[in-house]
């Protein structure tokens, strides 16, 4: 396998109140604030993004956290993992256009139902 998953690019954590969590992680813990989009709040943890997703608790515990693995090119990585039996929830998705790159993701689940993702920061 030429795609090696070793670097986390982002960790998502479900929170009940995005405003309260933003203040806690920014003001109490001192994490560098990156940006906010609606109920999604992003912080920098030494190069790994922490995404807090505010709102009602998901129905499935497998949707309370998500690990995002960085890959240089999402399509070939998804093809390789699919060949090894990983079932993706759909085609790669353009998530956001940033000033200097596009953020692409592809989602899948582990055997316990936890959400995982591949992420490419396409420049």
pLDDT in tens, 53-75: 999 877 777 788 899 999 999 99
Instruction: Specify the 3-state DSSP secondary structure of 26.
Output: helix
CB 52 within 8 A of CB 21: yes
To which residue do tokens 């997703």 refer? 53
Give the pLDDT confidence score for residue 118 in this predicted structure: 95
pLDDT in tens, 5-48: 989 999 999 998 999 999 999 999 999 999 999 999 999 999 99
């Amino acid at each position: 396998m030429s795609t090696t998953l070793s670097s986390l690019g982002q960790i998502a954590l479900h929170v009940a109140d995005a405003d309260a969590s933003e203040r806690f992680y920014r003001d109490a813990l001192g994490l560098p604030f990156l940006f906010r989009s609606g109920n999604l709040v992003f912080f920098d943890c030494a190069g790994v993004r922490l995404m807090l997703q505010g709102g009602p608790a998901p129905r499935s515990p497998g949707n309370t956290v998500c690990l995002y693995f960085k890959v240089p090119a999402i399509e070939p990585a998804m093809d390789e993992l699919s060949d090894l039996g990983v079932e993706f929830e759909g085609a790669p998705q353009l998530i956001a256009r940033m000033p200097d790159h596009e953020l692409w993701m592809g989602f899948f689940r582990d055997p316990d139902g936890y959400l995982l993702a591949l992420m490419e920061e396409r420049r």
